[in-house]
Structure 1
């Protein structure tokens, strides 16, 4: 295969990887047996400057866990579910571009590589961060997942973004340890 095509393919793959959304961040107690979990209860929603989102997220967590087969059973839960919610300004976007070109002129060929940096433009946006925490009945942290989503205003778009963020986080629960 032509070396310039290999380089172009490599940069294309890197560009696609850079454009992919970042997955939620999770961590868990590797010594805990998650296969025994059946029943959960939600801890009270945190006091926040965005109580509508807090209630929306609490309800979505409960729906998502129920759809995974867990039962909301406050009398004898196997695990407790809480979350934190934070809102912060999201930095303005700035773009870095990498260009790669090849060409020939007569019997000569060449490869060109260049970069361009865009200055931050656009308006300020807000980012909401959801941190879901799973505790055993003694309130020892056994799992946690964090994700964020952008929003400029409330309503349906914000509700859908929150729903998607919760689903992305809980897609990682319960953890599936790597097989050795």
Structure 2
């Protein structure tokens, strides 16, 4: 059982290594004294596709798991908390335009493995295809920000953020693992100095 748990942890850490994370924090605050936290849940996003009860629970569970692993204890009483934690979600439609050049710039490898079946590659009356190969892709990019806040002043002390292309997620378990991977990558850098900046 221990080997299985270690394998899962290693797989998660490997996946997290590819998630781009940026952080910012107060250099005046002593993060070494942080031992407890309480939730300051944000208002739900206007778009229920982005933030709903299921998404919210996955984010909360993932943050709780990471903070527990770091030795932080969750408290219900805000007055007993060293810090407050909150999050923000966003989603944006994106368009990517890829120009792969003419046939001789990528002949023999992806994405031209199918070129023989396209106009201009010998099957449609021409022997060569000199036009640019332009692909247009629509995709969604998600943003997750995790904020650590001072309980007294309500000022932001630390923020971790990542933007990721949303993959095809078909099951609740795939969605849970996606959120867990994202949150784990962000909180790997909390407190400041706990991870080597990439």
Query: Smaller-chain TM-score range?
Result: 0.5 to 0.7
Change (3 A) 1:146 1:133: same
The DSSP-based 3-state class of the residue aligned with 2:135 is coil
Q: Structure 1 residues 118 and 168, CA, compared in 2 at 3 Å: closer, same or farther?
A: farther
Q: Do residues 63 (structure 1) and 65 (structure 2) align? A: yes
* 1:81 paired to 2:52: no
Moved over 6 A (4+): none
Match 1:148 to one of 150, 163, 167: 163
Q: More strand per residue: 1 or 2?
A: 1
Report 1 or 2 for greater relative contact order, CA contacts < 8 Å, sequence distance ≥ 6.
2
- The Cα shift of 1:127 comes to 2.1
Which residue of structure 2 lines up, in the alignment, with residue 46 of structure 1?
43
Matches within 5 A, 1:158-177: 158-176=175-193
* Structure 2 spans left out of the alignment, 5+ residues: 1-16, 106-131
Q: CA–CA distance in 1 between the matches of 2:40 and 2:188?
A: 20
Q: C-alpha root-mean-square deviation of aligned residues, in Å?
A: 2.7
Q: Name stretches of at least 5 consecutive residues in structure 1 with no aligned partner.
A: 1-19, 100-116
The aligned length equals 140
TM-score in terms of structure 1 length: 0.67
| Alpha-carbon distance between aligned partners in 1 of 2:68 and 2:99, rounded to the nearest angstrom | 41
Higher deviation after alignment, 155-164 or 68-77: 155-164
